[in-house]
Amino acid sequence: MRRVLVALLALALLGAGAVLGARHWLVSEARARAAQALADLRSCLLGGGLAPGERASARLRAVGLGVAPGDDWPGRCSEHAAELDDALDSPWVAGEVAPGAPARALVESEPEGRAAMADALFARLEACDLPPATPRVTPAPPPARPIFAAARPEPLRPEVPPLASLALDTVGRDRVRLLLPGTRELCSLAPPLAEASCRELAPELELGEGTRFARAAPEAPDLLLTRQGLFDAATGQRVFRPAAPALAQAAVRADGLVAILDAEPREGRAPRAGGEGPERLRLVRFAPGRPATSQRLPGSEGASAWLDDLGLVWWPAVGGRASTWPLGAGERGAAGELASGGRAVASCELLGRRLVLVAASGATSVLVRGRRGATSFAVGAGGPSAELALGCGADAALVVHRRGAQIDAERCTVDGVCGPVVHAWRLPADAEVAAVAALGDEVLVAYVRAELGLRVRIGAPLALAAARDQVLFDTAREGGLDVEALRVAVVGDAAVLLVRDRGLGLHVLRVDRRGVRPFKLLGTRPARG
């Protein structure tokens, strides 16, 4: 009998051990399954573990900013969220996890609701002390934290009119001029140093719609064309009163010689505001201490024109070759064929020549200027409703063209040898505001993605699609900007990016391959008394 009791006790002990062992195995398996599901979801959503003190919501937002267009993130994490929810529903681990929203709710939520859910979910799961596991999934994209996330720079000015109405131009390879009519200031931007200095305009100047700069050589004075005439920006003194101020152009050389292109209507006909009509052009030139000279330009009725410190080029409204006229002594010359009815939209310097981009509804041309004359050639990029940009690299020019979402580029030498048009990139469907520029040999695209902030992409035409965005500002809801408009000017090897925020005014940023930084305002000089 005693032996029977001993045997029964041994069987009971073995049974209890088996039950305890089975329970331990089931708990271990359930915890391992939950740990694996957590590792997979963490990798898919966050890209990996969090650093000490890092919040899951901050990592989640940074990953979201870096997601490339077309990437189904975080939707592609739904499967791993479901596996984690199923693992946590197991009775063997359910008691270890504090109650809370399921992981699937985080993945399927709208962006504005994810922050609090992410912090709560990962905080309660990390508290479970699950065993480590190696993720088996494709990780999240690398996080892209905004450059100005920690400290938003002060705007250059708190209030500005629409960017399209601002007078903006480049002088040489190291200066950009910006006219702020609301505050009556002329700002000089030096991209190499990311420094800006402004000065108040003379009170005599009457600024209005259409005010613009006279094109200037480096070291030349700043002159402004208004509806009342051509004025010295520093003194407010009127230099010249054109017959047709709305159509006039002006240029000033470093030696002080000033040239004004004016439209001279035929007798009994007023100049047309659109620049088309029977007007004949006249070129007025004067130097300090010398009387002005005025010359009518034969065959210039209804012509288009470009005037700068190198001289004048004009081309007929219908057919024919372009003509040149130097600002100093010299004779009229030929400049080849240009797009009929076209308008000059951009210029840059290449190998001692000045290139001017001329756009028309059906064609795009490049005018090549030199001290001894000019030539021209046609390019393939362009067409109706196009946003065009021109940039000069070390040995070639780049013509960039955006129509709608499509961005194309074409590389041309100074001799007019152009490569094929490259379909460089297409803006994502959620792009709300965009501006393009040619930065040397590369294309620069500044754009805003809905709910994903302001960013810049830079790359050679064939590499632009694979380039990674630099995120500048998050959305206003996330402490960034509410961008209303963008505008870009390129000078030298850098771009000046104007950003108009709906509530905070005008931000001015220097952008190049090395990074992005805001312009520092050195001060504002008062107007001369």
Residue 271, pLDDT > 60, answer no
Q: Calculate mean pLDDT across residues 329-346.
A: 72
pTM: 0.87
341-363 burial code (b ≥16 CB/10 A, e <16)? bbebbbbbebeebbbbbbbbeeb
Please give the backbone phi and psi of residue 422, each rounded to the nearest 5 degrees, phi first. -100, 125
Residue with tokens 């000059």: 344
266 pLDDT band (50/70/90 cuts)?
low
386-415: average pLDDT: 92
pLDDT given for residue 171 in this prediction: 92
Spatial distance between the Cα atoms of 66 and 159, rounded to a whole number of angstroms: 31
Percent of the chain scored above 70 by pLDDT? 86
Distance CA 46, CA 143 (A): 8
Per-residue pLDDT tens digits for 182-224: 888 999 999 888 999 999 998 888 888 889 999 999 999 999 9
Confidence of residue 13 (pLDDT cuts 50, 70, 90): very low
Show the tokens assigned to 528.
């001369």
| Mean pLDDT value of segment 465-470 | 94
Instruction: Give the three-class secondary structure for 126.
Output: helix
pLDDT on residue 143: 93
Please determine, for residue 20, whether its predicted confidence score (pLDDT) is greater than 60. no
Mean per-residue pLDDT, 412-427: 93
Mean per-residue pLDDT over the chain, rounded:
85
Q: What is residue 47's predicted lDDT score, i.e. its pLDDT?
A: 94
DSSP state of 329: S
pLDDT digits (tens, 9 = 90+) for 110-124: 887 888 899 999 988
Position 291 confidence tier, pLDDT thresholds 50, 70, 90: confident
Q: Average pLDDT for residues 40-46, to the nearest whole number?
A: 94
Return the pLDDT at 276.
44
Task: Give how far the C-alpha of residue 513 lies from the chain's centroid of Cα atoms, to the nearest Å.
Answer: 13
Question: What is the average pLDDT across 246-260?
Answer: 91
- 528 or 397: whose pLDDT is higher? 397
Q: In 3D, which of 292, 293, 294 has the Cα closest to residue 280? A: 294
Q: What is the pLDDT of residue 303?
A: 83
- In this prediction, residue 79 carries a pLDDT of 94
d(CA 516, CA 497): 10
For 260-284, give the secondary structure using H, E and C: EEEEECCCCCCCCCCCCCCCEEEEE
CA distance 96 to 94: 5
Residues 6+ apart with CB under 8 A from 250: 214, 215, 223, 225, 230, 240, 258, 259, 260, 261, 307
> Model confidence at 16, in pLDDT bands (50, 70, 90)?
very low
Is the pLDDT score of 5 beyond 60?
no
The answer, yes or no, to whether residue 488 has pLDDT greater than 90, is yes
Q: What is the pLDDT of residue 205?
A: 85
Q: Does 275 score more than 70 pLDDT? A: no
What's the rounded mean pLDDT across residues 511-522?
92
Residue 273 pLDDT: 47
The pLDDT value given to residue 512: 92
From residue 58, alpha-carbon distances to 84, 116, 119, 191 in Å are 22, 10, 9, 33
pLDDT for the residue 474? 95
Q: 71-102 pLDDT, tens per residue?
A: 899 999 999 999 998 888 877 666 666 667 78
Question: pLDDT at residue 333 above 50?
Answer: yes
Determine the pLDDT at residue 127: 77
Would the pLDDT of 480 be above 90? yes
CA gap 41, 134 in Å, rounded: 11
Neighbouring C-beta atoms of residue 14, cutoff 10 Å: 10
Residue 34 has pLDDT above 90, yes or no: no
Give the rounded percent of residues in the chain with a pLDDT score beyond 90: 44
